[in-house]
Amino acid sequence: MMIYKRSSALFAEAQEVIPGGVNSPVRAFKAVGGDPIFVKEAKGAYLFDEDGNKLIDYINSWGPMILGHAYQPVVDAVIERTKKGTSFGTPTELETEIAKLAVKMVPGIDKIRFVNSGTEACMSAVRLARGFTGRDKIIKFAGCYHGHSDSFLIQAGSGAVTFGSPNSPGVTQGTAKDTLLAEYNNLDQVREIFEANKEEIATVILEPVAGNMGCIPPAEGFLEGLRDLCQAHGALLIFDEVMTGFRLAAGGAQELTGVQADIVTFGKVIGGGLPVGAFAARNEIMNHLAPLGPVYQAGTLSGNPLAMAAGLAMLQALDQDREIFKRLEQKTEYLHKGIAQVLTENRITHTINRVGSMISVHFAEEAVTDFASASAGANETFKKFFHGLLAEGVYIAPSAYETWFITDALTYEDLDATIAAVAKIAPTL
Ligand code: PLP
């Protein structure tokens, strides 16, 4: 049994000076109850908390640590850069180096602009799409999360849903009216929205593999259909690859699915664990950005040398060993099969979704294909599942709307230990 004495004490202390004790809401465990774990350090596949517990980590900083925690080349790159100064606000060669590598790895992009988070990347991508098309409205999908900027907090997934405030106070009606909502995997609905808003839609933005209502793959023909609709109506297609980029393949979901977006956004893996986001497109679109074009976008710390050094070391590792993506998928499949077998043996209703190294366990009978079906899962069972696993030293995301991230640092022994933990707690679910 784990002890959480110090974590709980630290949480109480944090709540005095930080709203809810956390700097990002999902960390507070509200969806599952209990106090969050305070981490002391992490290495490879494991977290070590303030009470001395060792946990197998399936959150991995919500995606960035695809090669495990404290991956040595990233750590070394950051230490070396730090000695030379932490920020200049003037260009460095490093920015061109990582940009070149990203342009090489990702299909169909000529230029990339670095920012500081996935939120910034998606917010800027939409502004660019609006500037490029001269239109205001955007289509987004229920359950897709694109960060916390105002236009996106309309039925956003994971954190926003977990807190039951999909339409956050503070987002004005003026902003909300330009965000049109569709169901994920419902192409007919998107077609209808386009018909009803002729020449008004600037962009369709989506997670090409959804990861913020659990993991939901795009239905066959869905992405291709969106591609065609955007083409036919003069709108730009934005793939939010903050989660999927440099994870599902070197070229992300675009490479995996063969569907090309007009603008692609990145975050998480691209920063190797430092605060980095990016958006990219072909020249025709990117040349609309300041200082080349009229669409304004900027950042004091954008392209920060430490962040770029970490990101470059990460992308180089992924570029040099493309087998990583195959290995990750094999590990994820192994885990999927192991957990499914145990839950089936214990007659527990479940659906497991998986794409590449993204996986989610839903306590639902029906296929989970959109936000409504993701919400139909038994949340009480999930809570028991979460706390049961935690007590066994397995740390999954504290919300049924989150995806688990498999890393290259996980060994088959770790996966077996995880499956054994599920077997142990299954009778209690
Ligand atoms: N887009 C997607 C698909 C995400 O999963 C996230 C974060 O989880 C974001 C955007 C926002 O990124 P950030 O939290 O870095 O602002």
**Nearest protein Cα to ligand 1, atom 12:** 118
CA 318 to CA 305: how far, in whole Å? 20
Q: Is the CB of 145 under 6 A from ligand 1?
A: yes
Tokens of 127: 């502004």
Q: How many helices (H) and strands (E) does the chain have?
A: 15, 14
Query: Is residue 157 lining ligand 1, measured as CB closer than 6 Å?
Result: no
Cα–chain center distance at 42: 20
Instruction: Give the three-class secondary structure for 351.
Output: strand
Domain identity same for 64 and 129: no
Q: What is the CATH number of the domain that holds 275?
A: 3.40.640.10
Q: Which domain holds residue 412?
A: 5-70+323-428
SS (H, E, C) 99-130: HHHHHHHCCCCCEEEEECCHHHHHHHHHHHHH
Q: Is the CB of 402 under 6 A from ligand 1?
A: no
> Which atom of ligand 1 is the closest one to the Cα of 119?
16
- 268 and 236, same structural domain? yes
Q: Considering 270, 300, 320, which residue would you say is the last residue of a domain?
A: 320
251 and 292 housed in the same domain? yes
Q: Domain holding 414: CATH number?
A: 3.90.1150.10
Among candidate residues 320, 346, 372, the one where a domain is terminated: 320
Distance 340 CA to ligand 1 centre (A): 28
Do residues 360 and 301 both lie within one domain?
no
Residues near 370 by beta carbon (within 8 Å), at least 6 away in sequence: 142, 143, 183, 184, 185, 186, 213, 216
Do the beta carbons of residue 25 and residue 162 sit within 8 Å? yes
- Say yes or no: 315 and 339 in one domain: no
Q: Are 119 and 256 part of one and the same domain? A: yes
Q: Among the atoms of ligand 1, which is closest to the Cα of residue 207?
A: 3
CA dihedral of 326, 94, 44, 355, whole degrees rounded to 10: -30
Q: Say if ligand 1 is within 6 A of residue 118 CB.
A: yes
Q: Decide: 81 in ligand 1 pocket, CB within 6 A.
A: no
- Please state the pTM of the whole predicted model: 0.96
Same domain as 123, residue 183: yes
Q: How many domains does the chain have?
A: 2
Query: How far is Cα 415 from Cα 343, in angstroms, rounded to an integer?
Result: 15
398 ligand 1 Cβ < 6 A:
no
User: What does the pLDDT profile of the chain (429 residues) look like in tens digits?
Assistant: 678 999 999 999 999 999 999 999 999 999 999 999 999 999 999 999 999 999 999 999 999 999 999 999 999 999 999 999 999 999 999 999 999 999 999 999 999 999 999 999 999 999 999 999 999 999 999 999 999 999 998 766 555 544 434 467 888 888 888 999 999 999 999 999 999 999 999 999 999 999 999 999 999 999 999 999 999 999 999 999 999 999 999 999 999 999 999 999 999 999 999 999 999 999 999 999 999 999 999 999 999 999 999 999 999 999 999 999 999 999 999 999 999 999 999 999 999 999 999 999 999 999 999 999 999 988 899 999 999 999 999 999 999 999 999 999 999 999 999 999 999 999 999
Determine the residue of 23, 119, 247 to mutate for testing ligand 1's pocket, defined as the one with the most ligand atoms within 8 A of the Cβ atom: 119
Of 294, 320, 346, which residue constitutes the final position of a domain? Answer: 320
- Whether residues 184 and 315 share a domain: the answer is yes
Co-location of 227 and 149 in the same domain: yes
**Do 162 and 31 lie in a common domain?**
no
List residues bridging with 203 in a β-sheet. Answer: 138, 236
Q: Would you call 240 a catalytic residue per the annotation?
A: yes
> 196 and 78 in one domain?
yes
Rounded to the nearest angstrom, the distance between the alpha carbon of 346 and the centre of ligand 1 is 35
145 catalytically annotated:
yes
CA distance linking residue 403 with residue 353, whole number of Å: 9
Task: Identify the residue whose C-alpha is closest to ligand 1 atom 10.
Answer: 146
